[in-house]
Each structure stands twice: as C-alpha cells, then as structure tokens.
Structure 1
Amino acid sequence: MADPVEPSAGPFVSLDMAKVHLAVCSGDHDALITLYLNAASDDVRASHEIPSPPPPAVQAAVLLKVEELFDPAMSDGEKRAATVANLLRKYARPNF
C-alpha cells in the first residue's frame, strides 16, 4: 500500500483554498468574501460556539477585503465599521 500523499508546501493545499485562488484570479470579490465568511462560520460551528458579535476570524476576513475593495479613505474607524456591518449583514449565514 502506498504512503498517503502529503499536501504540497504550496499555498493551495485544499479545495477551499483553490476556490479562494480562483475567486481572486477571476476578480469575483463577492464570491471571495462569501468563501472567507463561510470558512469562518464553519470553524465556529465546528467548535460549537454561537458568536455574538461575529468572531474575530470573520471580522478580520471582511476587514481584509474591505481594505482591498474600497477606497483607502474609507479606512477611518466609523466608515470601516459601517462597511463591515453592511458586508456581514449581506454575507453572513442565517445561523451565524
């Protein structure tokens, strides 16, 4: 029996990461944000937590995309918080 294949040392070692890579390459920012949020919510469900507010992983993922997708002038605290809140409402799963 052959030894199991170890994941490569490259950045794309899972189907989820491949999907993220494809979303980045295609410029599909909505899909990319959704992938990040879904991955974060899966992590939360796996640890049996019901977050309120959303966990740091979700907030960090969305902040990362906000910085990439929006004008840098929006990075001031209040504008960023409002943008993140809007994105979370749009993309978070209902049980989140």
Structure 2
Amino acid sequence: MKMNQQNDGFWTHFWATVTALASAAGLTTEQWVYVLCAILGALLSLGSFLSNRKSLKAKQAEDEKRTEILRAYLHGREVDADESSEKVAEEVKGVMDQVGN
C-alpha cells in the first residue's frame, strides 16, 4: 500500500514546474512579485501611451478639419472686404462657436 494515495494531477505538476523554474532562476518569491509588478507597470504605461497617442491624433484631425472650414469661410468672405473688421470678427466667432458644437 502506498502512503500517498492522492492522484498526481495537472496542478500538482504545474506548480512543481513553476517552483523548480523559479528556484533555478535564483529569485525568491518576493523578487518574483517585484518582477511581475514591474511587467504589469510597463504594460499599463504602454497602454496609456498608445491610448493618448490615438486621442491626440483624433484631436489633431478635428483641429485640421475646423481650420479648413474656417479657411473656406474666410476665403468666401474676401469678396466682401469692404465690411468693418468688427463685424467680420463677430461672424468668425459665431462660425467658430458653431463648429465647436
């Protein structure tokens, strides 16, 4: 009769392998926690960087679109150059408010 009558399952072999690899690497459990947290921090930083870059590209495209609309409007207004600059400035402000919404 065997002393240990439990079946050797997958998880037993998995954790034994993990423990053996960690021991072979020469790192303690605390050091492995630091390594895993450093990897997690690097992944979060990379995700934040990529998300911010995507957001800035979208903002840049929106700004370029707004500039083109304003440029087209002002080009159309060049025909009516005899109007006062205050009136044109108010119209441009109104158009910019409409584009911003």
For the aligned pair, the TM-score class normalised by the smaller chain equals 0.3 to 0.5
Greater relative CO (CA pairs within 8 A, separation 6+): 1
TM-score w.r.t. length of structure 1: 0.32
Which protein has the larger Cα radius of gyration, Structure 1 or Structure 2?
Answer: 2
Kindly indicate which of the two structures has a greater share of residues assigned to helix. Answer: 2
TM-score w.r.t. length of structure 2: 0.31
